[in-house]
Amino acid sequence: MVDTDALLADLASTVGSEHVLTDPDLVAPYAIDWGRRWGGPALAVVRPATTAEVAAVLARCLQDRIPVIPQGGNTGLVAGGVPAEVPGPLGSPIIISTRRLTRLDPIDEVSGQVTVGAGVTLGDLHRYAAAAGWEYGVDLAARDSATVGGTVATNAGGIRVIAHGMTRQQVVGIEAVLADGGIVEHLAGLPKDNTGYDLAGLLTGSEGTLGVITAVRLRLSRPHAASSVALIGIDTYDEALRLLRDAPRPGAIVLAAEVTDRVGVELAMEMSGLPWPLEERHPLTLLLEIADGGGGEGFDESVLDGYDVTLAINAADRARLWTYRELQGEVYTAYAAAHGADPAHKLDISIPLRHLAECADLLRERMATYAGVLAFGVFGHLGDGNIHVEIAGPAADDEDVDMLVLGTVSTYGGSISAEHGVGRAKSHHLHLTRTPTEIAAMQAIKAALDPEGIMNPGVLLPLESRRD
């Protein structure tokens, strides 16, 4: 029997009593996800400020086999950083918030690298790097809330994947605390280091199931030339893919290729007060951003001739065109709330580009006949096949509508998670994307590093054998 009072007293002596939150009103924001769809009870929220404190907290939790949930900015959408609605066999968890791990080392100007604490927000990292003449390649709409540690734990993608790759491509070193309190520290950032298993690569994307990431060493790049943004009205995804291939001039660097459907643009208009951005209302809009010096020369005018296009060549206009896209993560949630519905279903999926148009059209057809759907939309990252499906109307616990999407994706050889992770929400659907042998290998790694199963139980790998 766990002596909860003794546990909390020990944690308070480690991190300070003001950083062990037990008041339900203070715990609540940490215990429910950003989309307001997932959450559950927690014993406490613990906010360590150093790697040593994280190690002490984990060692103490292991002593009583208390489950631990690492959490960054809590901007996830798959319940990867919040408790389950019903506690698992180990009981209610401790949430370890990494927000106080705000280490920001001087930028190494020779290697173009920087070591950053897990609690630093993506936005703060961007500003820190920019002030020194560098940039960090991962960017997403939640940049001022999402933490670096969270984006590494989920191997986040975002809007610059087409130019820089996923988060894993930026990570050159890592520091983390394992389930027993042991500290893994490998932050040299050597380009060539063939001394065994790539622990940084393993922990990136592990979703807090193997340990708590406390710091990372990241690859930076020099900023691209000033950019131009074109917003283009189109009818089909195949048309969008052709423009992605043909509209940039040879040698032009494409920084982003984003597609948004008409429903999403109209909802963004309602939220922002902005007008329709083109002359006509099209089924889809394609946003292309090209590093070309900022004068629009990166676009082939002969290819865009005849299209409904808005071109932005200054910062204010670029930001305005991006607004329609960056509001997509919020507008369906707002729409559902305004119509008295449960929080919107938000599904992050990846489809082979050759099947993107066919799959998206089939999803739209199936959603049109699904009972209770008030609004359905698709937006996302065209260049890498990652689209986000938003569904307002069905009950929050309606897994059938989720399965309709995930099952459709699976038939096209896609992934049930492109960049948000698997979390708790999709763990029992993992077999749709991974083979039994792959899942068994992941389970073996989990058992080796976390034999008591205290690290984020039920996330990524299911606690039960349910298959839908």
Q: Which stretches of the chain drop beneath a pLDDT of 70?
A: 464-468
CB 404 within 8 A of CB 370: yes
| Residues 363, 406 contacting (CB under 8 angstroms) | no
Name the one residue in this structure whose structure tokens are 């406390």.
Answer: 214
Domain 1-223 has CATH 3.40.220.10: no
Domain with CATH 3.30.465.10 in the chain: 1-223
pLDDT tens-digit readout, 383-409? 899 999 999 999 999 999 999 999 999
φ/ψ of 116, rounded to 5, equals -135, 140
The answer to pTM > 0.85 is yes
Per-residue model confidence as pLDDT tens digits over 216-264: 999 999 999 899 999 999 999 999 999 999 999 998 999 999 999 999 9
In the sheet with 94-97, reading across from the earlier edge strand, the strands are: 20-21, 44-46, 94-97, 68-71
| pLDDT tens-digit readout, 286-332 | 999 999 998 899 999 999 999 999 999 999 999 999 999 999 989 99
CATH number of 227-326: 3.30.70.2190
- What's the confidence (pLDDT) of residue 270? 95
What secondary structure, in 3-state letters, does 235-289 show?
CCHHHHHHHHHHCECCCCEEEEEEEEEHHHHHHHHHHHCCCCCCCCCCCEEEEEE
Range(s) within the chain of domains with CATH label 3.30.70.2190: 227-326
- Looking at the chain, the domain(s) classified CATH 3.30.70.2740 span 330-420
Q: Cα–Cα distance between 323 and 74 in angstroms, integer?
A: 22
Give the separation between CA 129 and CA 131, rounded to whole angstroms: 5
CA–CA separation, 177 and 239 (whole Å): 47
CATH fold for the domain made of 330-420:
Alpha-Beta Plaits (3.30.70)
